[in-house]
Amino acid sequence: MSVRIRHLLFATLMSLAIWHLFEGGYIHAKAWLAQQLIHNAWHGAISNASAQTPWPGADTYPVARLTAQNGKIDLFVLAGTSGRTLAFGPGHMTGTALPGSYGNVVLSGHRDTHFSFLKNISIGDQLFLESSSGDRKLYEVIKTEVVHENDTHIARDSGDDRLTLITCFPFDALVPGGPMRYAVMARAVIPRTLNI
Amino acid sequence: MHSPLTGGRIKTQSPNDQIVKDGLRGLLASIAVGFTVSTVLVLIVITLTLLSTAASAASVDQINNTKSGSLLVKNAQTGHYMPTPTLLTDVKINVSGILARTTVSQQFQNNSKDWVEGIYVFPLPENAAVDQLRMRIGDRIIEGQIKEREEAKKQFQEAARSGKKATLIEQERSNVFTTSLTNIAPGESITIEIAYQNTLDYRDGAVSLRFPLVVAPRYIPGQEHNENTMTSTVNQGPSVTDAQKISPLIIDESEKKRNPVNLSIKLDAGFAIQTIHSTNHAIKKNKINEHQYKVNLVSNNVPADRDFEVTWRSAPDAMPRSAVYTEQKGDKYYSLITLFPPTDPNADIPRLPRDIVFVVDTSGSMHGASLDQAKSALKLAVQRLTNEDRFNIIQFNSTTQALYSHEQPASEKNLKVACRYINALVADGGTEFAPALSIALNDDAKAGRIRQVVFITDGSVGNEDEIFSMIKKRLGKNRLFPIGIGTAPNSHLMTKIAEYGRGSFTYIGDISEVATKMGDFFNRLENPVVTDISTKWPEDLIVDLSPSIIPDLYQGEPLVIVAATDRAFTGAVQIGGLFAGQQWRETVNLEKQSKEQGIGQIWARRKISEHMGSLRDGMSKEVVRQAVLDLALEHSLVTKYSSLVAVDVTPTRTMQFMYRQLIPLNMPNRWSQAKIFGALPQTATASSMHLILAALFSTLALVFFFKGRRPKTGSQR
């Protein structure tokens, strides 16, 4: 009797644990796997100079490649910032300047997967953005800021040539959906040497 | 033995059973406790994380809430905290039509014992153009000069080094400007005066003026400072290393009156004013004539924690009206023409029947959400057609296909066919835009009818130049209304199509926006009030108009045209067009119009944004920079390439050290911002929570597993 109940309880708790482990791991696995698949679509986009979907039925496509920390961070940026898109990679915020063009290019990504590296970013760090049309630009971080999600001034065109990365804040909050955002502003610089 | 749960099931009682039962009871008790505990734990985890989100959000603000009488800022080198100077703001606004020229004067007081350098951030309305800077120290007035940005910066830095007073205004973002002050003597007060102009909001016959008295807590002067590399020798290096922590300068509740404001408005509405209303502040109104008023704040010292907002409404008018203001500047003349649509809601403006061609992009890039958005936008548009209207639908990808050979009446039967056609649209293939455009422009508007072409596309089109030249050549009386859709539409292409096509550009970023965005779109599509607008100037005058292609006047939106003429002239300007299909004309005698300041600057500002826009057309940066700089220097405008700098000639600083200081800004009474993007994207997943819960449940499982075993091993002994 006791053994059965104990086993039942053990099994229940363990399956709950496994389910949560799966749910938590799945997010990371999906984030990782999608980036691998996008890699191929990216090379298609570069060679054909047209938008390519990374897998059949995808409603987004890679628009840029973002590298940082001497290549340790290498991310493919997708078009749009819907929840579906952001699960696969950081997204380019629609309506802001297109990667490679002059203006404020705004990208956002999940604070716990692709954009977790923003936690450790500091002023002066370099970011490198390559657009699908082959434009390459080096940016230098000039400022970080915590804003409310409704405070969209950071996404507006600032008149200069900059890159804005947005992720959720605080980084270690457990439950998603908080109202604060962490923004990293970087301005385009003319590179002396590119060591990426 | 009172466990009600186990009692019914255990039939025999033996010593062994007793032990088992004890064990079982213990287990059940722990199950009950365990579940309660785990449930409570889960709830606590969730509550705590929710709280922590809120708490860390709040702490960003709280860090900056100083408890003492004035806000202190830590100096990176000395670790000293400095008291902030007090400040008074005086605002004078001149309104001409929907344009306002504002002069803001701010008084700073260094109430510390040291020489300080300060940075003050002041909020400006969107699209404000700063053109004047004046500094008053005692009796002396130092006039700011417009300089090339780097040169201005250098001049400012030199002044700081040599102990002179100086002020610098640079363009940071479109609506935040910084004023930097150096060498403020202990106890001294300095007044900074700036002037700027901007366009006011007009909606349904009402114009509203907003003076933002507070900045949202978002500005980081220390880091912004690094960006500008404005450092003086006495205070080298990054001014504030922990700028993150002092970012939102929010002052104590008790200090709300730190930024008191005087405000007065000289109002010339350009139409007969019916009412004037202020949202947040008590105002005093003095009538000069039907069009003109003087408006003042009743109480002079108003806390700067909420925006000042005043709205004036026109008397109902059944006809379109024009208002003209002029300015002479050097040997050039500038005229500002504002056209107001009729404001009488009861006026019966005949609505012309329309021939409308919908051109929808069904290329591969529209696949997925984009095509869904396009379909729902298209259905909304088709449903609004009336019996008198005629329509056609053209879809294009690699090939072009039309529903009808030419426009058909929007009968119930035809609309049903159209709906079926829309539902069956599938995205595939390339984007051959030009043939579809060519077919749509094959016809022109018939007498007494309007012909409109609506494009629904994500605009991933290559041959832009071919498209623009086709529009210029074949537009006729057609009007083009591009609707941008999907994740990354080519807004540049669409804005240009709208400009050359004398229509307007609507952008739908998300399917949830279809209804609201299409509302504005339909207003323009269905209510052109005056079309084919043109201006006629006295002979042999060289006129440079902005915009050069005059769009139509729509219901509910005024139209502003600025003209620069090469010399003074006498006579009249004729403004004409088609009002409800009939000739409409107004003749304005320019000599009799009121003279206003700053119209040349409005013209220059428009030309500058045209130049900045040409950067996207691939125009060389150096060419654009030179063109912008020329205009900026002539019209004294602060731009990306030019700054205003004012330097006192006499060195005044005698003490050695100068501290960088920040002047606090009040928290907004109510968060307000233009909802251009709505909200920033959601950028967090529940993965950490899941992983923590996984750890929690597996620990609990193991705890119960081992806890349950103990009685059993006991019984075996």
Q: What is the pLDDT of residue A190?
A: 54
Nearest CB to B681: which of A79, A93, A172?
A93
Based on the number of CB atoms within 10 Å of its own CB, is A81 exposed (0-12), middle (13-18) or buried (19 or more)? buried
B294 has a pLDDT exceeding 90:
yes
Q: Does A126 touch chain B (CB under 8 A)?
A: no
Predicted confidence band at B179 (pLDDT cuts at 50, 70, 90)? low
Predicted confidence band at B679 (pLDDT cuts at 50, 70, 90)? low
Q: What is the pLDDT of residue B650?
A: 56
User: Amino acid letter at B25?
Assistant: R
B68 has a pLDDT exceeding 90:
no
A120 has a pLDDT exceeding 80:
yes
Nearest to B555 by CA among B390, B339, B403: B339
Nearest to B512 by CA among B385, B382, B369: B369
Rounded Cα distance between B685 and B247, Å, is 27
B30 has a pLDDT exceeding 60:
no
Contacts of B541 (CB under 8 A, 6+ apart): B565, B566, B567, B569
With CB atoms and an 8 Å threshold, state whether B53 touches A175: yes
Write out pLDDT tens, residues B592-620: 666 777 888 888 888 888 888 777 667 88
In this predicted structure, which of A111-120, B41-50, B442-451 has the lowest mean pLDDT? B41-50
Rounded Cα distance between A55 and A57, Å, is 6
With CB atoms and an 8 Å threshold, state whether B684 touches A58: no
In this predicted structure, which of B60-69, B199-208, B310-319, B439-448 has the lowest mean pLDDT? B60-69
Q: What is the pLDDT of residue B452?
A: 93
Predicted confidence band at B159 (pLDDT cuts at 50, 70, 90)? confident
Per the CB < 8 A criterion, the answer to whether B213 and B307 are in contact is: yes
- Domains of chain B listed by start with CATH number: 80-314+639-662 (2.60.40.1730), 354-526 (3.40.50.410)
B437 has a pLDDT exceeding 70:
yes
Q: Which positions of A are annotated as active-site residues?
A: 110, 168
N-terminal to C-terminal alpha carbon distance within chain B? 23
Nearest CB to A174: which of B370, B681, B692?
B692
- B692 neighbourhood in chain A, CB within 8 Å: 174
- Rama region for A124: left / alpha / beta (φ>0; ψ in -120 to 50; rest): left
Write out pLDDT tens, residues A71-83: 788 888 988 888 7
Residue ranges of domains in chain A:
3-188
B550 by DSSP, 3-state: which? Answer: coil
User: Amino acid letter at B576?
Assistant: G
With CB atoms and an 8 Å threshold, state whether A175 touches B50: yes
Nearest CB to A173: which of B52, B227, B711?
B52
Phi, psi (rounded to 5 degrees) for B54: -65, -40
The residues that bridge with A73 in the sheet, in sequence order, are A68
Q: What is the percentage of chain B residues whose pLDDT exceeds 70?
A: 66
Provide the sign of the torsion angle of the four alpha carbons B27, B32, B37, B39, taken in this order: positive
**Residue B595 DSSP label:** B
Q: Does A132 touch chain B (CB under 8 A)?
A: no
Phi, psi (rounded to 5 degrees) for B264: -140, 145
Nearest CB to B673: which of A152, A176, A180?
A152
Q: What is the pLDDT of residue B276?
A: 93
With CB atoms and an 8 Å threshold, state whether B701 touches A13: yes
The residues that bridge with B479 in the sheet, in sequence order, are B452
- Cα–Cα distances in angstroms (integers) from residue B357 to residues B50, B450, B671, in the given order: 52, 11, 42
Distance from CA of B706 to the nearest CA of A (A): 10
DSSP letters of B397-461?
A: SSSEEESSSS-EE--HHHHHHHHHHHHT----S---HHHHHHHHTTS-PPTT-EEEEEEEE----
- Cα–Cα distances in angstroms (integers) from residue A65 to residues A129, B604, B621, in the given order: 6, 38, 25
With CB atoms and an 8 Å threshold, state whether A152 touches B675: yes
Rounded Cα distance between B349 and B352, Å, is 9
Higher pLDDT, A45 or A10: A10
B392 has a pLDDT exceeding 90:
yes
Nearest to A144 by CA among A164, A160, A159: A164
User: What proportions of chain B, in percent to the nearest 5, are helix, strand and coil?
Assistant: 30, 30, 35
Q: What is the pLDDT of residue B380?
A: 87
Counting one residue from chain A and one from chain B, the pairs whose CB atoms sit within 8 A come to: 263
Find the mean pLDDT for residues B2-23: 41
For all residues of chain B together, what is the average pLDDT?
A: 71
How many helices and strands, by DSSP H and E, does chain A display?
2, 8
Find the mean pLDDT for residues B554-578: 84
Predicted confidence band at B462 (pLDDT cuts at 50, 70, 90)? low
Predicted confidence band at B194 (pLDDT cuts at 50, 70, 90)? confident
Rounded Cα distance between A145 and B244, Å, is 7
- A173 neighbourhood in chain B, CB within 8 Å: 49, 52-53, 56, 684
Which CATH code for domain A3-188?
2.40.260.10
With CB atoms and an 8 Å threshold, state whether B681 touches A95: no
Higher pLDDT, B667 or B580: B580
Q: What is the pLDDT of residue A163?
A: 92
Joined together, the tokens standing for residue B286 give 């003095």
Residue in chain B nearest A150 by alpha carbon: B679
Based on the number of CB atoms within 10 Å of its own CB, is B227 exposed (0-12), middle (13-18) or buried (19 or more)? middle
With CB atoms and an 8 Å threshold, state whether A110 touches B684: yes
B625 has a pLDDT exceeding 70:
yes
Write out pLDDT tens, residues A95-105: 788 888 778 89
Find the mean pLDDT for residues B465-480: 88
Nearest to A136 by CA among A154, A163, A166, A176: A163
Write out pLDDT tens, residues A158-196: 667 889 999 988 887 777 777 888 899 988 775 433 322
- B677 neighbourhood in chain A, CB within 8 Å: 93, 95, 152, 155-156
A20 has a pLDDT exceeding 80:
yes
Element (DSSP H or E) covering residue B323: strand B321-329
Contacts of B612 (CB under 8 A, 6+ apart): A159, B624, B628, B640
With CB atoms and an 8 Å threshold, state whether B685 touches A154: no
Higher pLDDT, A7 or B25: A7
- Cα–Cα distances in angstroms (integers) from residue B511 to residues A57, B369, B374, B522, B580, in the given order: 18, 8, 9, 17, 34
Q: What is the pTM of this model?
A: 0.56
Rounded Cα distance between A148 and B119, Å, is 24
Q: Does A29 touch chain B (CB under 8 A)?
A: no
Phi, psi (rounded to 5 degrees) for B609: -70, -30
Contacts of B579 (CB under 8 A, 6+ apart): B319, B320, B529, B530
- Cα–Cα distances in angstroms (integers) from residue A111 to residues A21, B368, B505, B684, in the given order: 19, 27, 34, 6
Rounded Cα distance between B341 and B320, Å, is 5
Write out pLDDT tens, residues B79-136: 343 435 446 778 899 998 888 999 988 777 666 666 666 555 566 666 677 778 787 7
